[in-house]
A and B are shown apart, each in its own frame.
Chain A
Amino acid sequence: MMKRLLTLLAALMALSLPVSAQNGPLRIEITEGVIEPLPFAAPGFVPESGAARQLAQDIAQVVAEDLAGTGLFRQIPDSAFISQISSFSSPVQFADWKAINAQALITGAVDLQAGGRLVVKFRLYDVFAGQELGQGLQFAGTRDGWRRMAHKVADAVYSRITGEGGYFDSRVVYVSETGPKSDRKKRLAIMDYDGANVQYLTDSSSIVLAPRFSPTGDRILYTSYETGFPRIYLLDVASVRRRVLEDQEGTMSFAPRFSPDGQTVVYSVTRGGNTDIFRMNVATGQTKRLTSAPSIETAPSFSPDGSQIVFESDRSGTQQLYIMDANGGEPRRISFGKGRYGTPVWSPRGDMIAFTKQSKGRFHIGVMRTDGSEERLLTASFLDEGPTWSPNGRVIMFTRETQGAGGEASLYSVDISGRNLKRVKTEGGASDPSWSPLQN
């Protein structure tokens, strides 16, 4: 009892202290800020040899476009610069860059050495802190690989400022579409994430669908109607050789996707009007049936740790999303909103699932937590579908198709915050994108 009395007395004494008393520093809490692109300056990289002059300009431009294209950064035009960077090693005049509100400064140099060896180096500065952000880095490669080196510089800058991995040195495989809607030619194509360096992997003699990268980016699964029925093929990117992965008489197989370790493929098989999900060991060809409901189960996607699979099913009467164990078992439903949910894809970070939603005659790309909570629709249009995640789980690319006989499919990307919705540059129509991991 005495102890409690003493405690009470102590509390009262504390209350009776003068209000003006303040212990230590002044304390304030900041809970609201602004969300806006971070302004950066990227003066042209310094050419260290005459032959590198054009390359230096091009590389600096690609770096700036990569960063500005994220919507997280805003490039300050060269015309606003007070001082220039004439030498890579000379000290930076921070006051000049502060004056134009450049919060990050990227300097670089490019050298084209004998034998065609290209060397690109850069430094990143936190202008207002007046110090370098990380250490300078140098990349070396062939002249042909200059865009990749630029992407790597941008990835490093992005990573140092945001704290998460970049996604610029990556590729996208998609279905290239040409011709009118009634006679559309489709073939597999692969390109840099920004639409550069397009290569075609198949001809347009048969319909191809839904290409998917392997976790290492060296192989591609896709579905082709070459035989008249949908079949899953496995294509080696380097050699462009392919083989049928699943070929059972009287069945249709489609919607394949790799497991995170690349050794297993999950896919759908339609047999006798019923569609279920199977998994296959790529090396041995051994298969296992994961679902057996009379409803349609398709579009399976592994969690990053390989322990679970999210898929779509109409077993409840409407198309919804479910999660089950990677070896099958009783699935649990995670989507409960009005409308139809499909093509779920697990985020590389493991915390979100992207999906297509059809509601009230419109299509949306959305994201939700893996338990179905915090659903958030990012887009809305006549037809949006087929999301794919960037390697860092920050951006989603998808197909958007316009209405009408002259409607065309094209690729769009959007930040998971819903900002920075934009069209991805492609040659002609494009659909069904699949984002590769970061290249080595």
Chain B
Amino acid sequence: MNTGQYISGAAHIGLIGWALLGGVFKPAPEPFEVTEVAMISAEEFDAMMAPTEAPSLDSEMVALTPPDPEATETEPPQAEAPDPAPVIAEPDAAAPPPEPEQAPDVAALLPPEPPAEVEDVAPVLVPPVEAPVTAAPDLSDRPQTRPTTRVAPEPVAPPEPDVKIDDIAQDEAVDDGAAEVQREQQEQTAEEEAATEIVTEAEASSSAPSTSVRPRTRPTRVAQPAPEPETDTGTQAAVNDALAQALAGGTAEPTTPSRPSGPPLTSGEKDALRVAVQKCWNTGALSTEALRTTVVVTVQMNQDGTPETGTIRMVDSQGGSTGSANQAFQAARRAIIRCGARGFDLPPEKYEQWREIEMTFNPEKMRIK
């Protein structure tokens, strides 16, 4: 009974609902306008709505943008701006083109006027001693050292005629307008031609031996030291013990306060410094007596590798008079200052090791023979 009532009730409710919702009692639908819509995200909606909120957002952006690094990265024009800034700082000091009336910083104008340099060097490049040599039919095929007015540890081939002579060979750099970063213009330079030894006219024009060798005296026999007397076994054992103890490494002294700390310079780093100094050590204008004088010079170094010129001092000299030692010292000082002007190539992390340098200038190989 109840079951039949429930079924009948549900069927009536469903019929009444269909009649109400199914539009059985509604009038016929009126015509309507169809409009296309698109799905947008909340951010896009905010962006669309932003103009309406401009007054309040404007002040907020000004305050937020500068410290936000991502903001500059996402905006290409603003990202370019910070890059040129440090680059421009250097050309500003060195390159006058933007403001021709501004006095140039002469300290930065390393290359002098090119025509003048070339004119100055030209006579040097022409070997003056070859012209008078007419009687040289018996030249050997051996490669001969070219007579030049410059002698250097390493031979240097004659540079191109138009190349400026400088202590350091550099490639040419020109102003390239298309490049984003402007390079400072750099004239091509080359080291002056050099031979490894002085070649006289007599040596240059003939392969014949030019010096007569005097008969040498027989070397005196060096007295051999007397053989060590053999030690007894007890002593030998004591020595062995001491040797083992010493090699165990337990006897290292504590570092004295005056000893520089940190790793020492490698032999390569020392060689680089030595080569750099000797490139500027010109003994060409020294007297023969000064060329027999060895001077020991100390110098305090700045952290950028440049010498403190006021600290260059001669601490010792050997082999000559006071006057010749002074001449030799002057040549040594010029070498340190000249080639150190741009800073020696020394490892900054080992500054404590080269804060003070002692250089011995030994001209034995530079003497007139």
Interface pick from A122-130, A185-193, A204-212: A122-130
Cβ of B265 < 8 Å from any Cβ of A? yes
Interface string of B167-186 (1 = CB under 8 A from A): 10000000000000000000
Q: Which residue of B lies closest to A337 (CB)?
A: B212
Bound CA–CA A274/B270 (angstroms): 67
Cβ of A405 < 8 Å from any Cβ of B? no
A162 and B202 form a contact (CB under 8 A): no
Cβ of B277 < 8 Å from any Cβ of A? yes
Which residues from B are CB-within-8-Å of A338?
212
Known: A17-B252, A375-B212, A381-B134. A27 touches B109 (CB 8 A): no
From B243, B263, B282, name the one whose CB has the most chain A CB atoms within 10 angstroms.
B282
Known: A33-B366, A79-B115, A129-B330. A16 touches B200 (CB 8 A): no
A30 and B274 form a contact (CB under 8 A): yes
Shortest C-beta distance, A431 to chain B (Å), equals: 16
Interface pick from B11-19, B41-49, B77-85, B203-211: B203-211
Interface pick from A54-62, A93-101, A219-227: A93-101
A24-40 with Cβ < 8 A to chain B: 24-38
A418 and B203 form a contact (CB under 8 A): yes
Cβ of B94 < 8 Å from any Cβ of A? no
Interface string of B198-235 (1 = CB under 8 A from A): 11111101101011101100000000000000010001
Bound CA–CA A362/B309 (angstroms): 52
A273-290 with Cβ < 8 A to chain B: none
B200 and A377 form a contact (CB under 8 A): yes
Q: Which residue of A lies closest to B301 (CB)?
A: A26
Cβ of A77 < 8 Å from any Cβ of B? yes
Which residues from A are CB-within-8-Å of B194?
34, 36
A421 and B278 form a contact (CB under 8 A): no
> Among B120, B259, B286, which residue has its beta carbon within 8 angstroms of that of A22?
B259
Which residues from B are CB-within-8-Å of A335?
212
Cβ of B251 < 8 Å from any Cβ of A? yes
Known: A31-B364, A379-B200. A20 touches B263 (CB 8 A): yes
Which residues from A are CB-within-8-Å of B242?
5, 8-9, 12
Interface of A is mostly: loop
Which residues from A are CB-within-8-Å of B360?
27-30
B259 and A379 form a contact (CB under 8 A): no
Q: Which residue of A lies closest to B295 (CB)?
A: A30
Which residues from B are CB-within-8-Å of A99?
106-107, 109-110, 112
Bound CA–CA A36/B262 (angstroms): 39
User: Number of B interface residues, CB 8 Å?
Assistant: 109
Which residues from A are CB-within-8-Å of B277?
28, 30
Cβ of B39 < 8 Å from any Cβ of A? no
Bound CA–CA A33/B339 (angstroms): 12
Bound CA–CA A25/B106 (angstroms): 34
> Among B238, B332, B369, which residue has its beta carbon within 8 angstroms of that of A376?
B369
A120-179 with Cβ < 8 A to chain B: 126, 128-130, 133, 161-164
Q: Which residue of B lies closest to A374 (CB)?
A: B369
B368 and A30 form a contact (CB under 8 A): no
Cβ of B290 < 8 Å from any Cβ of A? yes
A35 and B151 form a contact (CB under 8 A): yes
Known: A35-B282, A164-B289, A362-B206. A28 touches B252 (CB 8 A): no
Which residues from B are CB-within-8-Å of A232?
none
Cβ of A238 < 8 Å from any Cβ of B? no
Interface pick from B23-31, B52-60, B67-75, B350-358: B350-358
> Among B201, B256, B361, which residue has its beta carbon within 8 angstroms of that of A421?
B201
A30 and B151 form a contact (CB under 8 A): no
A377 and B202 form a contact (CB under 8 A): yes
User: Number of A interface residues, CB 8 Å?
Assistant: 90
> Among A15, A73, A373, A419, which residue has its beta carbon within 8 angstroms of that of B198?
A419
> Among B116, B167, B285, B366, which residue has its beta carbon within 8 angstroms of that of A38?
B285
B227-264 with Cβ < 8 A to chain A: 231, 235, 238-239, 242-243, 246-247, 249, 251-253, 255-256, 258-260, 262-264
Which residues from A are CB-within-8-Å of B357?
25-28
Cβ of A42 < 8 Å from any Cβ of B? no
A390-416 with Cβ < 8 A to chain B: 394, 400, 403, 412, 414, 416
Cβ of B363 < 8 Å from any Cβ of A? yes
Interface string of A80-110 (1 = CB under 8 A from B): 1010000000000001101111010000000
Which residues from B are CB-within-8-Å of A394?
288
Cβ of B303 < 8 Å from any Cβ of A? no
Bound CA–CA A22/B281 (angstroms): 26
Cβ of A340 < 8 Å from any Cβ of B? no
Shortest C-beta distance, A126 to chain B (Å), equals: 6
9 cross-chain pairs, A with B, having the tightest CB-CB distances, nearest first: A337-B212, A418-B200, A33-B281, A163-B327, A377-B202, A25-B356, A35-B151, A164-B287, A12-B246
**A residues near B, CB below 8 A?**
1, 5, 8-9, 12-13, 15-38, 71-77, 79-80, 82, 95-96, 98-101, 103, 126, 128-130, 133, 161-164, 335-338, 349, 359-362, 364, 366, 372-382, 394, 400, 403, 412, 414, 416-422
Given contacts A5-B242, A99-B112, 14 further A-B contacts (CB under 8 A): A12-B247, A23-B259, A26-B353, A28-B274, A29-B360, A35-B152, A35-B366, A38-B285, A126-B330, A380-B133, A380-B135, A382-B135, A394-B288, A422-B128
22 A-B pairs in the complex with CB atoms less than 8 angstroms apart: A8-B239, A16-B252, A22-B353, A25-B298, A27-B358, A29-B360, A30-B361, A33-B282, A35-B282, A36-B150, A36-B282, A37-B149, A38-B285, A103-B338, A129-B337, A161-B327, A161-B330, A162-B286, A372-B214, A378-B200, A418-B202, A421-B201
